[in-house]
Amino acid sequence: MKPFGIRITLHSSDTMRASHLLGEEWESYRWYRTMEERDKAFEELHQPLPYYQRADNSNLVLTKVENSRSVE
């Protein structure tokens, strides 16, 4: 497994957290070989998406994480 990641969750008020949709415990991870790759992707994910309207905001919560059990 790659050692550097981004954990993706939803804001607590997001309607997609409903039990019949994604659920309250939904999360996803993206993993990268280097800290530099991860940090670049983290910054890119913070950019507004081109198809959002100006008043729209992403409901994603992004957190940098490290996998201490990764073996290369």
Map residue 33 onto helix, strand or coil: coil
Domain that holds residue 55: 4-66
Decide if 23 is inside a domain. yes
Decide if 55 is inside a domain. yes
pLDDT at 68: 73
Decide if 19 is inside a domain. yes
Number of domains in the chain: 1
pLDDT at 35: 96
| Phi then psi dihedrals of residue 52, to 5 deg | -75, 150
Decide if 72 is inside a domain. no
Decide if 18 is inside a domain. yes
Measure the CA–CA gap between 7 and 66, rounded to whole angstroms: 10
Decide if 20 is inside a domain. yes
Decide if 47 is inside a domain. yes
pLDDT at 62: 95
Decide if 71 is inside a domain. no
pLDDT at 67: 87
Listed as ranges, residues in the chain with pLDDT below 70 are: 52, 54-57, 69-72
